[in-house]
Amino acid sequence: MTENAGNLAEVLDVLHHSVGRMLSLSPTTPTNLRVTAGDVGVELTWQHGVVAGVNLAADPGDPTNGHSEPVSAEDDARSYVSAPTVGVFYHAPEPGAPPLVQVGQSVDSGQQVGIVEAMKTMIPVIADRVGTVAEVLVPDATSVEYGQRLLAITPLGDD
């Protein structure tokens, strides 16, 4: 996108229409969509076994501590719990203990769903809405960076 501003607006407009058409042709809605403008490129990702909503805002943006991201699709949307800091993500509060949550389990808003350890400090990972854990995206004891998606939640009573 090295042209001038008018051109940019035009590109965005065309992009908007093409993406819309592309998604309407897709058999199931993808979980991720990546668009590259220079030299053109489209990347769609489907996660098997998951009925997922569309998240056009593929970048985690600026999630704050433990806040799930809102998703743009209206039905069946997933939201994500992201890492509150760079560190090591743990499923359980201590070694050998059972994980704080498992797939299929329902969670409350404000419930702790994991831990990120940074500089020997344990920072709780908190769900910010009521829902069901759809997927744990990062294995136990894995390094994560700030804003990285840790868990997918299917919100309940979301309309």
Partner 1 sequence: MFGKVLIANRGEIALRIARACREMGIRVVAVHSTEDSDTAVVRYADEAVCVGPAPARRSYLNIPAIVEAALRTGADAVHPGYGFLSEDPDFAEVCANNGITFIGPPPSVLASLGDKIQARSLMSTAGLPLLPGSTGPLDDTEDARAAADGIGFPVIIKAAAGGGGRGMRVVHDPDDFERAYLETRATAQVLFGSSAVFVERYLDRARHVEVQVLCDSHGNAIHLGERDCTVQRRHQKLIEESPAPGLPSELTARIGEAAVRGALAAGYVGAGTFEFLVDYSGCFYFMEVNPRIQVEHPVTEMVTGVDLVREQLRVAAGERLGLRQSEVSRIGAAIECRINAENPALDFVPTPGLLTEVVWPSGPFVRVDTHLSSGSRVSSAYDSLLAKLIVVGADRAQALARMRRALAELHVAGPGVHTTRDFLGQVLEHPSFVRAEHSTVLVDHIVTTGVGNISRR
Q: Give the x/- contact pattern for partner 1 in 27-56, rule: CB under 8 A.
A: -----------x------------------
88 touches 143 (CB < 8 A): yes
CA separation, residue 151 to residues 9, 68, 125 (Å):
35, 9, 10
Closest CA relative to residue 89, chosen from 139, 41, 52: 139
Q: Is residue 22 a contact residue for partner 1 (CB under 8 A)?
A: no
Of the candidates 30, 53, 87, 155, which one interacts with partner 1 according to CB under 8 A? 87
Q: Taking the complex as a whole, how short is the minimal distance between the CB of residue 6 and partner 1, in angstroms?
A: 10
Q: Is residue 139 a contact residue for partner 1 (CB under 8 A)?
A: no
Please give the DSSP secondary-structure letter assigned to residue 38: T
Question: Taking the alpha carbons of 126, 132, 134, 140 in that order, is the dihedral positive or negative?
Answer: positive
Q: Is residue 24 a contact residue for partner 1 (CB under 8 A)?
A: no
Of the candidates 24, 75, 96, 119, which one interacts with partner 1 according to CB under 8 A? 119
Q: Is residue 60 a contact residue for partner 1 (CB under 8 A)?
A: yes
Closest CA relative to residue 38, chosen from 8, 79, 77: 8
- The residue ranges that bind partner 1 (CB under 8 A) are 1-5, 8, 38, 59-62, 64, 85-88, 118-119, 121, 143, 145-148
